[in-house]
Structure 1
Amino acid sequence: MTAPRKIAVLIPEFPGQTHSFFWREIEALDAFHGIGAQIVSTRLAPKPVWHDWVEQAGAIQLYPVPKAELARLLPDLARTLPRLAADPDTRRILRQPKAWAFVLMALRLARICRARGLSHLHVHSCANFALIAALCHRISGIPYSLVLHGPLSDYGPDQPFKWKDAAFVFVITETLRAAVAQVMPAMMDKVRVVPMGVNTDQFSPPAAPRPDSPDPFLWLSCGRLNRIKGYDILIEAASILHRRHPMLGFRIRIAGEDDHGGTGYRREVEAALARSDVSDRITLLGSINQVLLRQELDAADGFVLPSRNEALGVAYMEAMACELPVIGTDAGGVKELITHGRDGLLVPPENPHALADAMERLMDDPTLRRTLGKAARQRIVADFSARRSADALAAALAGDRA
């Protein structure tokens, strides 16, 4: 079986701050396999992050549905409804409050695919967009696949319905695969572990070597402003360091925004900073595009992200690809990326004292920083390049079950 020439890549609330690695996969899919992709999104992100490639992506938003198109969809709905209602599982879904909006979006998605010659739906989510894709498949017969990027509990109900008709499902770590096997063992024949990756040409060491004795030492942290990322723990660890060594020069820059465009968890982080004794040492950058992120990575001396749980962590990968020494937590799938003492340091989650110890250790030891940074780069180049996931997707689309 040959792979399709063009597919739809479904990404919720595009463009978001973490969506660059999807674009890197799309670029590799086209460059190495000749498979084109059209990004389709549920709707525009509440606070879009306009990466330098977003215009080129030309994404289509399913919602809101233009009035003229809604009028065309209603006859489609009338023709489709008897077939959907004939299936008991689908009838159960249709009883849910938002189901009819999802059906209309599925109908619109089917129209877009027919008009643009898109022969497969690849969904980077197992939440509502997975449900829309499953409904679209039942309406149109267009095959679909899913990617699980985190714990199933983060993606809402009806997972068996979403997964049942999927051609294949990628999960990004062995940890997630084991978790899925416990709750949906019947689905495991279609599951394969495929980590996301980074473009190691774009994310590479800076032209000039990092100094052995930076003053101040500049830490970068990057990720959504969400409690799961452990920024409160980072603030507490910084305070511990400051109390231990009041004259120790260090700064922390945090790149990322909350899910509400700055009106959600960011306010809790700002309040924690205001209560701390290190508010002058920590800067919240908000969402930044890939160009600015590269500048921050080049300027940094170390990277730290003390997540309470992390499926894998593209932010770690980007820092490691740039030869930065990284500190993460031994939570979730991070251990599948970082080997403690070889290509990074791992600390227990929710342990600010252990985090402060690890930060102090790296600040005091330039040789360790260089050793970990070089090993980190080698790890990403060998096992987590953007091409790896593109190769796996092309093989799966071609029906290669090896």
Structure 2
Amino acid sequence: MTLDARRPKRIVVVLKGYPRLSETFVAQELLGLEQAGFTLALYSMRKPTDRKRHPVHDEIVAPVTYLPEYLHDEPLRVMRALWRARRLPGFGKALRQFLADLRHDVSRNRVRRFGQGAVLAAEWPEGGDWIYAHFLHTPASVAGYASLMTGIPWSVSAHAKDIWTSDPRELSQKLGAARWAVTCTKTGADYLRGLSPVPGKVHLSYHGLNLARFPTPVDVRPPLDGSGEPVTVLSVGRAVPKKGLDTLLRALAVLPPTLAWRFVHIGAGGEQEALRTLAGELGIGSRCTFKGSMDQKGVLEEYRAADLFALACRITDDGDRDGLPNVLVEAASQRLAVVSTTISAIPELFVDGKTGLLVPPDDVPALADALTRAIRDPMLRLRLGQAAEARVRADFDYHSSITQLTALFEDGWAAS
């Protein structure tokens, strides 16, 4: 059997939204699969809301089709799709699965996913013979319904919110139906293996970086110690509760008053204005800059201009949390010392005192102590940054994850 014969002709990729500035890891994987010789067709459940794009998005050649985000927005398209899909051999099976799901989740959202699955199945791209969903919640629902209708196998990549805020019963059902699943943290993999009817279907695959886009910095950071020129503390991430930016601001506000520092945040999100207000109320507004969203090139420049990176990740009341935030890997690749928390997979990359400084989530005094220590000690920052960069360049190159995915697609196709 030739190499090409062992691979799907075209992989239909189901995405929640595309392109998204906050999901560079998804775009990098898509480009990596294309560079590995796979042909893709992208189907997005939402149109883009970001005004900017990363360079990687322009390098991906796969066509993008947008499914109806809300069924009532394109009623004729949805009705035509249902009329065509009803003739597919697995439509009845998909309908029964939908009705079973609906009993546990009576919502418009559930109806929408079935309708989107029908549109995908009815508008199937030529040569498409595998479905791959990014995220185990709604994209996997669409992929699962379309797979039942068409009889085409599917697989899934799980990440963070989709794992920790989803119904375990539904996760178990999806993991049983998918040919295989990958997830990007050991914490997530262990949890999903405990839910899967076949634990061996779940594979750990760290996303990694395209290190060519994040080369080792040439310039050496000045050994600032907070006694004169301010030490720049950078945080990158969406302004949403699980990032713990409010905790970070509160920790900065209780740093010793004689310590010289400035804070820069990059990222969009619904809490931006609230964070600006909080910084003002805490008396640190003049030291804080909120730059909003930036493309990858701009973010790289900010990493290199900063002295310290901080991200105070937490688990929210609904269970939402990060896995291993890609920005932590990016920051480490730039020899930037990291202060973060002990949740999820962050300790899978950072070891407290060796490759970073880790504190419990939502512990303002502990976070303030770690920030103070790092700001005052440039040699500590240098040592932590060098060790973290070495770990990233040894173990978090995205070529490793693409190699793993290639093997999974080829083995899955050979067994189909």
Matches of 1:134 and 1:391, distance apart in 2:
25
Is 1:219 aligned to residue 229 of structure 2? Answer: no
Does residue 1:76 correspond to 2:93, yes or no? no
Match of 2:7 in 1: 3
The Cα RMSD (Å) is 2.4
1: CA distance between counterparts of 2:93 and 2:182? Answer: 29
Secondary structure of 1:377 counterpart: helix
2:149 corresponds to 1:139 = yes
Matched, 1:123 2:129: no
How far apart in 1 are the matches of 2:156 and 2:371?
38
1:179 paired residue number: 191
Q: Deviations over 1:277-306 (max 9, x none)?
A: 111111112121111111111111111101
**Structure 2 SS opposite 1:316:** helix
Query: Which residues of 2 match residues 201-212 of structure 1 at below 5 A?
Result: 201-212=212-223
* Structure-2-length-normalised TM-score: 0.86
* Per-residue Cα deviation, 1:193-241 (whole angstroms, up to 9, x for no partner): 1111111121123232111127221111011111111111110111111
Compare 85-94 and 293-302 and name the one that shifted more. 85-94
Pair 1:19 & 2:33 matched: no
Where do 5+ consecutive residues of structure 2 fail to align?
Answer: 316-321
Matched residue, 2:318: none
1:382 shift after superposition: 1.2
Report SS of the residue matched to 1:286.
coil
Aligned-residue offset at 1:55: 4.1
Match of 1:52 in 2: 55
Instruction: Give distance in 2, aligned partners of 1:200 and 1:188.
Output: 32
| Residue number in structure 1 paired with 2:307 | 301
Aligned length in residues: 390
Whole-angstrom CA distance in 2 between matches of 1:218 and 1:82: 57
Cα deviation, residue 319, structure 1: 0.3
CA distance in 1, matches of 2:33, 2:13: 11
Q: Indicate the residue corresponding to 1:104 in structure 2.
A: 115
CA–CA separation in structure 1 for the residues paired with 2:218 and 2:75: 53
1:312–1:333 contact (8 Å) kept in structure 2: yes
SS of corresponding position for 2:354 = coil
1:256-281: CA deviations, max 9, x gaps? 122xxxxx323332331221111111
1:181–1:55 CA distance, 2 compared to 1 (3 A) = closer
Query: Contact between 1:15 and 1:48, CA under 8 Å: does it hold in 2?
Result: no
Alpha-carbon distance in structure 2 between the residues aligned to 1:76 and 1:313? 41
**Could you say which residue in structure 1 is the equivalent of 2:344?**
332
Pairing of 1:143-182 with structure 2 (within 5 A): 143-150=153-160, 152-155=163-166, 158-182=170-194
Report which stretch shifted further, 207-216 or 56-65: 56-65
Corresponding position of 2:373: 361
Q: Report the alpha carbon displacement of residue 39 of structure 1 after superposing the two structures with TM.
A: 2.7
User: Could you tell me the TM-score, scaled by structure 1's length?
Assistant: 0.89
Q: Distance in 1 between matches of 2:272 and 2:99?
A: 40
Deviation (angstroms), 1:387: 1.2
Distance in 1 (alpha carbons) for counterparts of 2:303 and 2:90? 55
Query: Alpha carbons of 1:124 and 1:347: their partners in 2 closer, same or farther (altered >3 Å)?
Result: same
Q: CA distance change for structure 1 residues 85 and 141 in 2, over 3 Å: closer, same or farther? A: closer
Classify 1:82/1:178 alpha carbon distance in 2 versus 1 (closer, same or farther; 3 Å). closer
Indicate the residue corresponding to 1:62 in structure 2: 67
Give the match's secondary structure for 2:139: helix
- C-alpha distance in structure 2 between counterparts of 1:332 and 1:298, whole Å: 26
Inter-partner Cα distance in structure 1 for 2:187 and 2:107: 33
Question: Aligned partners of 2:345 and 2:90: how far apart in 1?
Answer: 44
* Distance (Å, rounded) in 2 between the aligned partners of 1:195 and 1:376: 16
Shift in CA distance, 185/114, structure 1 to aligned 2, threshold 3 Å: closer
Question: Secondary structure, in 3 states, of the residue corresponding to 1:126?
Answer: coil
**Once the 2 structures are TM-superposed, how far is the Cα of residue 392 of structure 1 from its aligned partner?**
1.1
- Distance in 2 (CA, whole Å) between partners of 1:175 and 1:103 is 30
The correspondence of residues 256-275 of structure 1 with structure 2, limited to 5 A, is 256-258=267-269, 264-275=270-281
| Residue number in structure 1 paired with 2:44 | 41
Give the Å deviation of 1:159: 2.1
Question: Residue 357 of structure 1: CA displacement?
Answer: 1.5
- What's the counterpart of residue 228 of structure 1? 242
Unaligned segments of structure 1, at least 5 residues: 259-263
- Say whether the 8 Å CA contact 1:127–1:156 is kept in structure 2: no
Q: Is the 8 A contact 1:3 1:395 kept in 2?
A: no
Matched AA of 1:38:
A
Structure 2 distance, partners of 1:15, 1:108, is 20
Amino acid in the other structure paired with 1:210: R
Look up the equivalent residue of 1:135 and give its one-letter code. Answer: Y
Change in CA separation of 1:2 and 1:78 when aligned onto 2, cut-off 3 Å: closer
Q: CA deviation at 1:84?
A: 2.4
Tell me the SS of whatever aligns to 2:328: helix
Instruction: Give me the identity figure in percent.
Output: 27
Q: CA deviation at 1:56?
A: 4.3
Tell me by how many angstroms 1:354 deviates: 1.3
Are residues 52 and 190 of structure 1, via their aligned partners in 2, closer, same or farther at CA, if it must alter by over 3 Å?
same
